């Protein structure tokens, strides 16, 4: 019984040090940046990003709105910014208002969906 009590005390201590979940405000880069700034940051024009988005949007939508999901357009933009800058996932996540693990999943998903690189050659 003492072992169980010690175990529960350790679990309560671990839970006490967990960070609170924070939801960051996400911006819409298409609205925020003009055409020149957008091209500098993403290496694509706004029209090209919209066309790429139209190709992959059905595979990026979530079935529920639980846990503040990232919109499909922001997923595409975060991945393109990561590819364009070659920056760390942490930095890209800070700029996009997402956690670095979310950026990691998005980058892999977009890369998987765009295995036909002729998409990018067109735009």
Q: Where are the domains of the chain?
A: 25-122
Q: Is the pLDDT of residue 23 over 70?
A: no
Rg of the chain over CA atoms, in angstroms? 19
Amino acid 123: pLDDT = 52
Amino acid 46: pLDDT = 92
Percent of residues in the chain assigned helix, strand, coil, to nearest 5: 65, 0, 35
Could you tell me what percent of the chain has a pLDDT over 90?
A: 5
Range 28-33 average pLDDT: 85
Alpha helices in 20-86 (DSSP H): 29-32, 35-42, 46-60, 72-85
Comparison of pLDDT for 58 and 123, the residue scoring more: 58
Reported as half-sphere exposure (CB side, CA atoms, 13 A), residue 115 has a value of: 4
Q: How far apart are CA 3 and CA 9, in angstroms?
A: 10
Fold of 25-122: Cyclin A; domain 1 (1.10.472)
């Amino acid at each position: 019984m003492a072992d169980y009590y010690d175990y529960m005390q350790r679990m309560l201590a671990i839970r006490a040090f967990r960070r609170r979940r924070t939801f960051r405000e996400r911006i819409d880069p298409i609205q925020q940046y003009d055409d020149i700034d957008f091209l500098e940051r993403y290496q694509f024009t706004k029209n090209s990003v919209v066309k790429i988005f139209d190709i992959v949007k059905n595979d990026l939508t979530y079935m529920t709105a639980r846990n503040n999901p990232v919109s499909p357009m922001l997923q595409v933009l975060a991945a393109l910014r990561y590819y364009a800058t070659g920056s760390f996932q942490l930095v890209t996540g800070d700029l996009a208002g997402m956690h670095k693990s979310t950026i990691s999943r998005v980058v892999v998903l977009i890369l998987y969906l765009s295995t036909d690189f002729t998409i990018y050659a067109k735009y």
